[in-house]
Chain A
Amino acid sequence: MPTYRKWFQPYVGPYDPCPPLGAVAYETPVQLYLGFQPAGMEQYSPVQALSYGTLWPGLYTPYTNPFNPVNKGADS
């Protein structure tokens, strides 16, 4: 299973004017890894699908604000 959020640590210079923000997150959602969708993947119920925005649990990659401390360190 790939992870859908990655982090990198930008260089911290000795004369940076602002305190460093720390690691920077970027999203790597499922479509980067799935390839051509295989037949017969698991499906949500219609009501769930309408609420999640996709029929396929395998395509559901929700987003959370990485600047929220609660989400720090989350990598999936």
Chain B
Amino acid sequence: MKTAFFHLMPYPDLPDDFPETHRSVWVEIDPGLYDPKVGHRAYNDYIDELEYAASVGFDAVGVNEHHSNGYGLMPSPNIIAASLSRACPDTTIIVLGDSVALYNPPLRVAEELAMLDAITGGRMVAGFPVGSPMDVIYAYGQNPATVRERYHEGVELITRAWTSDEVFSFNGKYNKLRYVNVWPRPVQDPHPPIWIPGGGSVDTWDWCAENDLVYCYLSYFGYRAGLKTMQGFWNRVKELGKEPNPFQGGFAQFIACAETEAEAWELYREPAEYFFNTCLHVYAGYADPPGYKTPNTVRAGVEGMVERAAREATARAEAKAAKPEKKGPLSAGPNQLSFEDMVEKGYVILGDPTQVTEQVNELCLNLNVGHLMVLAHFGNMSKDLVKYNTKLIGQKVLPELRGLFEDEWEDRWWPKPMAAEQRQLRDLSPSSLEAGI
């Protein structure tokens, strides 16, 4: 069992009435709401929190990519990963991931991840999402009808660039390169493990199952709602005659842990409501551009995670417009998702360390996932609270989960770094600096 501390890096200071006064946190969010001083503080706090997680027992730290939004301030996950690469010398770094179709050419992704793999001595996981519709279709203008084809071609180019022993030409439909020759090369042989974050596309299940890639369901809606999606993936694995190795699966889960359950209810209400009611306040018109879904997904009637979040947020906004409430947004009136709902439905796992351990164990067994992305920061949570939550999870929950699945299954999708004694560590000692002159 491997666990990562995964950070979404939301903008933490959107106004209380944002869901009532703004249509969407993504794509069209008012640039006037961004305060550079808040951004400065947030980035530094968030990087501190990732580094802290690495120090209290998490196997990995994880970052991702989003654009034009207040949900997640990471247009470039590789920049954050670069910061972590030196500050967290023994921790796996999961970039989950780089939206391959947005890079022209995608060799940029191959180069940057190879650089990170070189700096870390082979501690990288390379995640390749198609990207949310808001990010890739609206914010970056990719054509929804061709974005998946462009994405798959990009992943092919990157993996060939990492593994080819020769300079080669790539004559793709979208990428035409006379000379492909990526320097540096990844440390890991043949390359960093590839994980695919999915949001509910049935074709992504097939692709991961057929190509031996990790399928990660980064759900907003918790382990109960995620069961159907993960079962869809495992069904495809079995249909292909492959083994349902839990380490080929990943799942993201919000966790709110405190010394007592009562304290958890008190501490995490506001940040959870900020996340679900403000950070996920996405206009439904940005969630389902025609062509983004594959015909198979349309045929299967599968609603993507983003689509669902946006549909529910827009429905709440429309209900509120039709019948205004007297209460403010953080009081979670009838038109808001309440904290009680979030916990009851499993969006948030809440409790003392024992209760959290039981639920996480249930999650991993039911969903058959050996890679858990823990969201211990959410919404506008204070740095102190993040550290409290992270420490309890890292030191009281994760030890109880260690070893899960490992007797029966091999994790073939975890980085294989250079031996610790071979890895160059950060060295700012006067003697080393003078020697370098």
A binds B: no
List residues of A whose CB falls within 8 A of some B CB.
none
